[in-house]
């Protein structure tokens, strides 16, 4: 079968790599190659950054008012809405996510563009209430220049939308580097941006491998901001790259998010929320609620209900409407999950469900897996699996639950299940995480910000402040006095 061919977009031109090199993308449901992409070298990356820099300085882009930029983003949102099914099918083929999940994500995507479009002409400066009467000072928020956006494979379109929309709203230009495992939909997004009338060179996309294409992009001297989503180990490389160009950084990294179930919770709801948190997207979600802290009084009841519900999860072809769990996105990720399970068993964690591949002929599937752990220090309680593996532990008091929730290098999200309103607010206040869900899990909105504490990264995406992350503040001083300048050797 011939592979579908994709090209990169550099300065508005659709192009192969200068070397002519390509790589194949594999369909996780079959393990077979389905598409081919250019393998961009440092030379290709340089072309893309130069094109983005030229576009940033161009009269065409700079003469657009913020309101006009907002209109372009709205148009892009409309085009995404008109192409939902195509984009959803493509993403599901490329990264193996359930079609019902990719449809859901893509249908909400336009909202990020509409919301952020409205922010484009609300990026305001301030007048400073100075302590010097003969001076007027005000601030201006200016775009940074070329933004490098590094995107992982788990939710490529969504994670790109929350970078592209604010970057462009603020007047920057951008070079996208998708994961080598899921490049297709970002390329389609750039085609839609072209149709929306976004000028050539404002959005570019280079495809290739992380350590070559990604590193060339993040260390490029003309990159002014790196918006990165991915794992902590890669983030360390990106931070080192930014030592070359002093680019501003936002890092959205992983998590080991706790779901805390108190004895007064609606347990049916909690079990559903736990399933959503760890088995949706086969656990390949940055906010996966992978650590379950359950009060001892309801521990057996919750774990039995969870095992029962999870054992009924329909594993299958991600493009079939009835499937509830698809494959892991890559063979490497499947191997990572298997090594975690092996280590958990070797360390004495009690396997309650799964712990193996299902009996299927092809594809990188793994069963929903539940382990009972005896200590929050266990490897499985501390390290991110990024797969369908839940680690459960009992607690006795609220203080103990909080201590365990916060005893983690990560701080991305947390779920709190209780009907006690005072406890809900107390625990929400005291858990060290960027996102807290009470009696629900995995809810997103264009108005809500995403980002973590500690090793889950820094910077915030989505929400009202997202555009400010793509600006630089400038302070302008105006001398109002008609007196000659005083002593030049003394700071005023
Ligand atoms: P990853 O291996 O860190 O890769 C992320 C991106 O970085 C990919 O595009 C990758 O390209 C690229 N990359 C790899 N090495 C690079 C280098 N030296 N310089 C520049 N770029 C480089 O992460 P992943 O396995 O794809 O994604 C899973 C991780 O992302 C998990 O930890 C998850 O929790 C996190 N995540 C966080 C959020 C959030 O919002 N906080 C959302 C989703 C995922 P290649 O893939 O081509 O190597």
| Residue owning the nearest CA to atom 43 of ligand 1 | 286
Ligand 1 centroid to Cα of residue 213, in Å, is: 13
| Distance (Å) from CA 150 to ligand 1 centroid | 7
392 lines ligand 1 (CB under 6 A): no
- E strand residue ranges, 39-154: 135-143, 146-150
**Does 175 sit in the ligand 1 pocket, CB within 6 Å?**
no
Q: What is the largest CA-CA distance in the chain?
A: 86
**CB of 38 sitting under 6 A from ligand 1:** no
Q: Decide whether any atom of ligand 1 lies within 6 Å of the 219 Cβ.
A: no
Span from the CA of 432 to the centroid of ligand 1 (angstroms): 23
- pLDDT of 345 > 90? The answer is yes
What letter does residue 470 receive in the DSSP assignment? G
Flag whether pLDDT at 348 surpasses 90: yes
Tokens representing 106 are: 């893509």
Contact 289/433 with Cβ under 8 angstroms?
Answer: no
pLDDT digits (tens, 9 = 90+) for 298-329: 999 999 999 999 999 999 999 999 999 999 99
Tokens of 144: 């940074």
How many angstroms is it from 99 CA to the middle of ligand 1?
Answer: 22
H helices within 143-282, ranges in order?
A: 156-169, 184-196, 215-218, 232-245, 267-278
**Residue whose structure tokens are 């539940």:** 370
pLDDT in tens, 370-405: 999 999 999 999 999 999 999 999 999 999 999 999
* pLDDT exceeds cutoff 90 at 485: no
Q: Among 234, 282, 329, which is best to mutate for testing ligand 1, by the most ligand atoms less than 8 A from CB?
A: 234
The closest-lying atom of ligand 1 relative to the alpha carbon of residue 230 is 30
User: What's the rounded Cα separation, in Å, for the pair 448 and 442?
Assistant: 12
For the chain, list the domains and their CATH numbers: 4-253+456-475 (3.40.605.10), 258-438 (3.40.309.10)
Residue nearest to atom 15 of ligand 1 (CA): 210
Q: Which atom of ligand 1 is nearest to the CA of 254?
A: 34
pLDDT of residue 1: 67
Q: What is the DSSP string of 381-426?
A: HHS---SSEEEEEEESSHHHHHHHHHSSSEESEEEEE-S-HHHHHH
Task: Give the Å distance between the CA of 248 and the centre of ligand 1.
Answer: 18
- With beta carbons less than 8 A apart as the criterion, state whether 325 and 315 touch: yes
Residues with catalytic roles: 252, 286
How far is 187 from 202, CA to CA, in rounded Å? 14
Q: Cα angle vertex 227, ends 36, 152, to 5°?
A: 35
- What are 31-71's pLDDT values in tens digits? 999 999 999 999 999 999 999 999 999 999 999 999 999 99
C-beta 273 within 6 A of ligand 1: no
Backbone angles phi, psi at 416, to 5 degrees: -125, 125
Cβ 237 under 6 angstroms from ligand 1: yes
- The CB of 247 under 6 Å from ligand 1? The reply is no
Q: In angstroms, rounded to a whole number, what is the distance separating the alpha carbons of residues 416 and 440?
A: 8
pLDDT band at 361 (very low <50, low <70, confident <90, very high): confident
Q: What are phi and psi of 371, to 5 degrees?
A: -120, 140
Using alpha carbons, list the distances in angstroms from residue 334 to 67, 296, 365: 46, 32, 8
Length of the chain: 492
Residue whose CA is at the smallest distance from ligand 1 atom 39 = 252
Whole-number Å distance, alpha carbon 266 to ligand 1 midpoint, is 36
Atom of ligand 1 nearest to the CA of 456: 41
Report whether residue 234 contacts ligand 1, using a CB cutoff of 6 Å: yes
Tell me if 398 sits within 8 A of 418, measured CB to CB: no
Residue 450 near ligand 1, beta carbon < 6 Å:
yes
pLDDT of residue 89: 97
457-458 β-sheet, strand order: 13-15, 8-10, 203-205, 173-177, 146-150, 223-229, 248-252, 457-458
Average pLDDT, the chain: 97
The pLDDT tens digits for 282-291 are 999 999 999 9
Radius of gyration of the chain (CA): 24
Q: How many CB atoms lie within 10 A of CB 479?
A: 12
216 lines ligand 1 (CB under 6 A): no
Ligand 1 mean position, distance from CA 233 (Å): 9
Q: Which structure tokens are listed for 287?
A: 């906010």
37 phi-psi bin (left φ>0, alpha ψ -120 to 50, beta other): beta
Mutate to test the pocket of ligand 1, among 22, 152, 184 (most ligand atoms within 8 A of CB): 152
* Pocket residue to mutate for ligand 1, from 210, 218, 285, 456, most atoms within 8 A of Cβ: 210
**Rounded-to-integer distance, Cα 166 and Cα 221, Å:** 22
Question: pLDDT tens digits, residue range 418-469?
Answer: 999 999 999 999 999 999 999 999 999 999 999 999 999 999 999 999 999 9
- Residue 230, ligand 1, Cβ within 6 A: yes
Task: Round to whole Å and give the CA distance between 115 and 444.
Answer: 13
- Strands across the sheet containing 258-261: 350-353, 369-372, 389-395, 291-295, 258-261, 413-417, 435-438
User: Ligand 1 center to residue 207 CA distance, Å?
Assistant: 14
Using a 6 Å cutoff on CB, does residue 238 contact ligand 1?
yes
CA of 165 from ligand 1 middle (Å) equals 20
Q: Whole-angstrom Cα distance, residue 221 to residue 213?
A: 15
17: left (phi over 0), alpha (psi -120 to 50) or beta: beta
> Whole-prediction pTM value?
0.96
Q: Is the CB of 153 under 6 A from ligand 1?
A: yes
Distance between CA atoms of residues 452 and 460, nearest Å = 8
Could you report the per-residue pLDDT of 66-125, keeping only the tens digit for each? 999 999 999 999 999 999 999 999 999 999 999 999 999 999 999 999 999 999 999 999
């Amino acid at each position: 079968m011939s592979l579908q061919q994709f090209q990169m977009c550099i300065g508005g031109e659709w192009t192969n790599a200068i070397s002519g090199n390509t790589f194949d993308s594999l369909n996780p449901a079959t393990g077979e190659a389905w598409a081919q992409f250019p393998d961009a070298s440092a030379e290709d990356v340089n072309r893309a950054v130069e094109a983005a820099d030229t576009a940033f300085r161009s009269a065409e882009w700079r003469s657009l008012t913020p309101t006009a930029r907002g209109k372009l983003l709205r148009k892009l949102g409309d085009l995404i809405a008109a192409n939902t099914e195509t984009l959803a099918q493509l993403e599901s083929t490329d990264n193996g996510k359930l079609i019902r999940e990719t449809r859901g994500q893509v249908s909400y995507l336009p909202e990020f563009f509409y919301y952020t479009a409205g922010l484009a002409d609300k990026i305001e400066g301030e007048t400073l209430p100075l302590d010097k009467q003969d001076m007027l000072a005000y601030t201006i928020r200016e775009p940074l220049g070329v933004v490098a956006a590094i995107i992982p494979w788990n939710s490529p379109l969504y994670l790109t939308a929350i970078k592209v929309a604010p970057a462009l709203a603020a007047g920057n230009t951008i070079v996208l580097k998708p994961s080598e495992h899921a490049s297709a939909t970002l390329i389609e997004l750039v085609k839609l941006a072209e149709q929306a009338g976004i000028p050539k060179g404002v959005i570019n996309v280079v495809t290739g491998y992380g350590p070559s294409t990604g590193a060339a992009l993040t260390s490029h001297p003309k990159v002014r901001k790196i918006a990165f989503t991915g794992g902590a180990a890669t983030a360390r490389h990106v931070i080192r790259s930014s030592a070359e160009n002093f680019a501003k950084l936002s890092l959205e990294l992983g998590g080991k998010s706790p779901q805390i179930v108190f004895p007064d919770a609606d347990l049916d709801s909690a079990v559903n929320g736990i399933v959503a948190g760890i088995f949706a997207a086969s656990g390949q979600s940055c906010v996966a609620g992978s650590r379950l802290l359950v009060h001892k009084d309801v521990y057996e009841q919750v774990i039995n209900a969870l095992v029962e519900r999870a054992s009924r999860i329909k594993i299958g072809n991600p493009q079939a409407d009835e499937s509830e769990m698809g494959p892991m996105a890559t063979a490497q990720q499947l191997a990572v999950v298997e090594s975690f399970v092996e280590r958990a068993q070797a360390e004495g964690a009690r396997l309650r469900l799964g712990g193996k591949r299902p009996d299927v002929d092809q594809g990188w599937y793994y069963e929903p897996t539940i382990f009972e752990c005896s200590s929050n220090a266990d490897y499985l309680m501390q390290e991110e699996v990024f797969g369908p593996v839940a680690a459960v532990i009992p607690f006795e008091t609220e203080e103990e639950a909080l201590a365990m929730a916060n005893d983690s290098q990560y701080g991305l999200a947390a779920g709190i299940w209780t009907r006690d309103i005072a406890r809900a607010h107390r625990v929400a206040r005291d858990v060290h995480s960027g996102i807290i869900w009470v009696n629900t899990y995995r809810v997103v909105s264009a108005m809500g910000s995403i980002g973590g504490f500690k090793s889950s990264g820094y910077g915030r995406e989505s929400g009202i402040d997202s555009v400010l992350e793509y600006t630089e503040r400038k302070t302008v001083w105006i001398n109002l006095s008609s007196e000659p300048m005083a002593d030049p050797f003394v700071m005023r």
